[in-house]
A = this chain, B = another copy of it.
Amino acid sequence: MAAADRARLGVGMVGYSFMGAAHSQAWRTAPRFFDLPLAVDMRVVAGRSADGVAAAADRLGWQESTTDWRTLLTRDDVDVIDVCTPGNTHAEIAVAALDAGKHVLCEKPLANSVAEAEQMVAAADRAAARGVRAMVGFTYRRVPAIQLARQLVADGRIGQVRHVRAQYLQDWLSDPSTPLNWRLDKDKAGSGALGDIGAHVVDLTQFITGERLTGVSGMLETFVRERPVATEFSGLSGSGGTETGPVSVDDAAVFFGRMSGGALASYEATRYAQGRKNAIRIEINGSAGSLAFDFEDMNVLHFFDAAEPAETAGFRRIVVTEPEHRYIEAWWPAGHGLGYEHAFTHQVVDLVGALAAGDQPTPSFADGLAVQRVLDAVERSASDKHRWIDLT
């Protein structure tokens, strides 16, 4: 489609830290590789520090900046609001935006509590009635290998799902001298490893299988309960000063559950797995085959097809970089792998496509709420002797 023929899509973003940088790269890059039906217009970024947000606008490619995110609600040139702030602000911003008639892309986890998430779903429902759309940013769904996994399950290639096995392993808190940051503060982050990374594997397994968890038992642990307070000059990995403060979230979560189709599911999320940097591991065993994925090798999906004769059956290492694979044709030749941030670009592509078509983008806020309910159930189980919590 020629540029001149395309309607414009004005975008405003709230927050400009790690997720803001990733989302900005996606908004900038999507139109360069994909034929988007709308012309992306990176209007404005909002943040609390005037200097900080102005510098971010310059660095990240936004035309304007503001310290008041509420001004985005009334701007005619802003069609979609992209929420990249910590979880405790998601509900307020997203609900206000939707009620103001703005489409919303909200980072995960949808909210810090089920109650907030329910309010957001209600707002999304109200908005949908007016053609206004809401989507939650479970970005890893848009890694091409994950898309292929979903498709193989949907095509019946692994049969009935019997086992789901998912881990999200990081190690950046292994060192007790790593200082506090907002992700370790329950008021801002809602939970720790459970909501930050566990949420991803809950969503991914529900997405790939097309099923929902119907109940869980879980346990949580905080290994290091006091950490140095970060000083002005310390970064994520910087050394803190002598002052310490409490860690108010979980460091790690282990839980099992039952999928709606009857499969046994086991999960683990931790920031204490020494040597595992961002290992999102998912294995699914079905009656007719199996799938395995590890984000440390993100361009690859392993697929076992039990229909093969035993003599030549084996897990296939599919390098998911062929033009036949979703999103790939827009990028590079086979074998020229994608990286972490490409999934954000795909998220923009899918969102813009849905908005132009008037479709509900996925994952919806309801999908986000479903994840939130799982996280909540794990927390309740963990705090009550690991008892089983039904989700139905």
Interface residues, chain A, with chain B CB atoms under 8 Å away: 3, 18, 21-22, 24-25, 28-29, 32-33, 58-61, 148, 152, 157-158, 162-163, 165, 167, 169-172, 174, 217, 219, 221, 223, 236-237, 252, 254-256, 258, 262, 264-266, 268, 270, 272-279, 283, 285-290, 295-299, 301-306, 308-319, 321-325, 332-342, 385-388
Contacts and interface: CB of A to CB of B under 8 A. Distances in A.
A304 B312 CA distance: 10
A223 B33 CA distance: 34
Given A285-B273, A340-B336, A167 B165 contact: yes
A262 B229 CA distance: 26
The 6 closest A-B pairs by CB, nearest first: A277-B335, A278-B335, A275-B304, A339-B339, A314-B316, A314-B318
Identify whether the interface residues of A are mostly helix, strand, loop, or mixed: mixed
Contacts of A58: 3
Contacts of A236: 333
Given A24-B32, A342-B339, A274 B288 contact: yes
Given A165-B167, A219-B256, A318-B314, A334 B297 contact: no
A318 B313 CA distance: 6
A273 B163 contact: yes
* Most B C-beta atoms less than 10 A away, residue of A18, A29, A316: A316
A314 B387 contact: no
A388 to B, nearest CB: 4
Identical subunits present: 4
A278 B311 contact: no
Contacts of A324: 309-311
Nearest to A318: B314
Contacts of A272: 162-163, 285, 287
Contacts of A258: 219
A279 B386 contact: no
A337 B339 contact: yes
A246 to B, nearest CB: 19
Contacts of A285: 169, 171, 270, 272-276
Counting chain B CB atoms within 10 Å of each CB, the highest count among A169, A322, A335 belongs to: A335
Nearest to A340: B336
B3 A32 contact: no
A32 B59 contact: yes
A152 B165 CA distance: 27
Given A274-B288, A340-B332, A311 B316 contact: no
Contacts of A266: 254, 256, 266, 268
Contacts of A314: 275, 301-303, 316-319
Given A303-B312, A337-B339, A273 B298 contact: no
